[in-house]
Chains A and B, each alone.
Chain A
Amino acid sequence: MRIPLAVAGFVVLMVGSVAVFAQEGGRRPATVAGCSATDFAKFYPCALEKARTFSPPRTKDGQPDLTGFWSRLVSTEDIQDRPEVVGQSAQRSLIVDPPDGKIPYLPWAAAQKKTNLDKYISPTAFCDVPGIPRMTYNFGKWQVLQSATQVAFVPEAAGSVTRRIIPTDGRAHVPSSIHLWMGDPVGRWEGNTLVVDVTNLNGRAWFDAAGDFQTENAHVVEHFTLIDKDTMLYVADVDDPSEFSRPWKIAFPIPRYQGEDQEIWEIACHEGNKAVPPLLKGGYNRFPGAKPPAAVR
């Protein structure tokens, strides 16, 4: 059967996570790699301990082998503690530092988040790319490819079309006046971990659908580490002194995709997006970005 694949952003936004869990065989497991899959504050130290002793398979080039298909365990609706809502179970905060699991907003930024919830809707509803770190928890299935000097991420399902090409050849960032929806990633291997330093963000992406936003000053350092052959530990260190009172950290597991369909297909988001006129008419506007007040810039 040949059917057109077109995803309405509105549908993705509202039911994406549920659909993904269903596709991947149902409910969220209680544990992954012997660590909690629901309480990320417990998962993180447990995963670090696993990573200390696990010897990952290697590519021909001798790098830890992250290739293959990966899936999503966490929801992109809200990275902080989220109660049960219609169609979706509760989710503990993905933030493992600070220990209270809350984003350490400066006062202006906490106010901006409230404005975001009132006036704007997640940029992914407009098929804008999800940005960093959201890309890592925005897709149902994604593929990692590796060569000696670059790592590529190619996602499918539940969101905007995009991809990441992460050079690991020691190059420098592009000039700081260039701002990119997906930022400029510079990768390196540190022990068994792929570390990706992301700068040059454009301050338009959100961390989730709950109004949690970033500015163009954001600096994200991501860490991808195998903790067993079928599980990655993902850690993102987020820093932006113009928005947050201190650096903070996200951590969660990424399980290997277990479906038979080990192939990535094109999903055209913008091309089939019929959701935008109703959103705009309903008073949901597109997030234009937020500038920190002069005092903290």
Chain B
Amino acid sequence: MTCGVTTAVAQGTAYRAPRTADGKPDLQGIWQVLNTAAWDVQDHSGQLGIPAGQGVVEGNELPYQPAALAKKKENFAKRATLDPETKCFLGGVPRSTYMPYPFQILQFPGYVMIAYEYVHSTRLIRTDGSSHSDTPDFWNGDSRGHWEGDTLVVDVTHFNDETWFDRAGNFHSDALHVVERYTRTGPDHLLYEATIEDPKVFTRPWKMSMPIYRRQEKNISLLEYECYSYAYDEDVQYFIKREGQ
């Protein structure tokens, strides 16, 4: 197994998270990963502008169906123009978790909010027992959460087929179903686990996991990365070029 982190239980984690005012495990704070999954969720060598990295996928292999594997290879070859991140589009799930920007978790009675610095992307996750309703498709999917012991479990469905998993062209369809698990493993660490299911693209479910680190700077504050607004500043014709793609 090349996977670096398994479940909190397997690690023998005895840590019990502090509680919020309404008695839930307290996951609040500003967090960020320290890995190379943004470039490629799988094991990969270094290239110009791309640090080498060990993958975050259990067993490293993504179980693509044959046609999907061909599409992944095409995505990789054309990633400079096809990657939705190059167009400043919303990152989707789980990709937003390990993009190279911090994100903030806030908790309110009945809700967990995940606020990403990248384009003000926001997930407001109900934890009051509500189920997926007849919602449209979303870039970030429809998230419904519940608590299992110390773990926040988020079930995410109703995705569109426009987001990727990384800059290497790993992709999914609108049949994507993600189950995320957020577990405090210490005062300054979260374990993030995501189970990925997509019967149109993969032959079986697969799993990724990674630690997430609390930003330690005393003055840390979630700022903003208004990706497309900056892109237009650089070149206002960007829009026309994008439409031409």
Contact = CB atoms under 8 A, between A and B. Distances in A.
Contacts of B160: 4
Contacts of B107: 147
B53 to A, nearest CB: 28
Given A128-B229, A174-B223, A180-B224, A266 B140 contact: yes
Nearest to B140: A266
B223 A146 contact: no
B30 to A, nearest CB: 10
Interface of B: 20-22, 88-90, 104, 106-108, 111, 113, 115, 119-122, 124, 126, 130, 133-140, 158, 160, 162, 219, 221-224, 226, 228-229, 232-233, 236-237, 239-240, 243
B232 A286 contact: yes
B127 to A, nearest CB: 12
Interface of B is mostly: loop
Chain A interface: which size bin? 35 or more
A162 interface: yes
Given A1-B134, A161-B120, A165-B115, A147 B21 contact: yes
A12 interface: no
A276 interface: yes
B189 to A, nearest CB: 22
A268 B120 CA distance: 11
Contact of B237 (A60, A271, A280): A280
A271 B21 contact: no
Interface of A: 1-5, 60-61, 67, 126-129, 143, 145-148, 150, 152, 154, 161-163, 165, 171, 174, 178, 180-182, 184, 204, 263-266, 268, 270-271, 273-274, 276-277, 280-281, 285-286, 288
B113 A152 contact: yes
Contacts of A2: 134-137, 158
B88 A270 contact: yes
Nearest to A264: B124
Given A128-B226, A271-B139, 16 more contacts: A3-B136, A60-B21, A145-B124, A147-B20, A147-B21, A147-B106, A152-B115, A161-B122, A163-B120, A174-B223, A204-B229, A266-B140, A280-B239, A281-B240, A285-B236, A288-B233
